[in-house]
Amino acid sequence: MEHLNAASEEDLEQVLLSCLRSLRWARRVAEHRPYPDLDSLLAAADEAAYDLGWPDLTEALAAEPLPTLPPDMYSAAHTALSAAHAAYEARFGHVFVICLDGVSPSEALDRLLEAVRSRLTNDPEEERVVAADELRRLARERLLHALRGAGPQSTSGWRRAGAINH
């Protein structure tokens, strides 16, 4: 936390932007430092996420990176995932996001396909709420990872989470 609290405004904004993917979200979190501890930072990020409008969430969704898929994933799985994502993007107008923290690599593909198929049944307003919550969870994991990388803590327990895009 000391590193985060002592960072210049520019450096802090860049770190937060890399985790939160929305300039307004990053600035809202930066405005409230110094943070006494990690829980305070995560609570501030969560609170700021709930106040974001759809344009801010769209900015965060648009900045989501391609996921790292297992190298041994066979082509039928890629095809199924691409088709599911295309259907999702056509229905909702933005990329599919999901936080896979705690999901083993062997279960990731099944979890992704199950989630995208399930969420395709949501109405657009309901899906906005779900996507916003997934973005919030992704941001939380990225903040944890960024802080662990900046200090003496290990990052071995962190799992990659991200958007599903093609």
Name the CA radius of gyration of the chain, rounded: 16
User: pLDDT tens digit string along 32-48?
Assistant: 999 999 999 999 999 99
Is residue 136 within 8 Å of 17, Cβ to Cβ? no
- Strands (E) across 40-139 are located at 96-98
Q: Would you tell me the crossing angle of helices 54-62 and 124-150 to the nearest 10 degrees?
A: 60
Decide if pLDDT at 99 tops 50.
yes
Beta bridge partners of 98: 162
Identify which of 125, 60, 123 has the alpha carbon closest to the alpha carbon of residue 97: 60
Q: Rounded mean pLDDT of the chain?
A: 85
State pTM to two decimals. 0.79
> What pLDDT is attached to residue 110?
86
| Across 87-112, average pLDDT | 90
Is residue 40 within 8 Å of 28, Cβ to Cβ? no
User: pLDDT tens digit string along 52-96?
Assistant: 999 999 999 999 875 655 666 667 777 888 888 899 999 999 999
CATH number for the region 2-164 comes to 1.10.3330.10
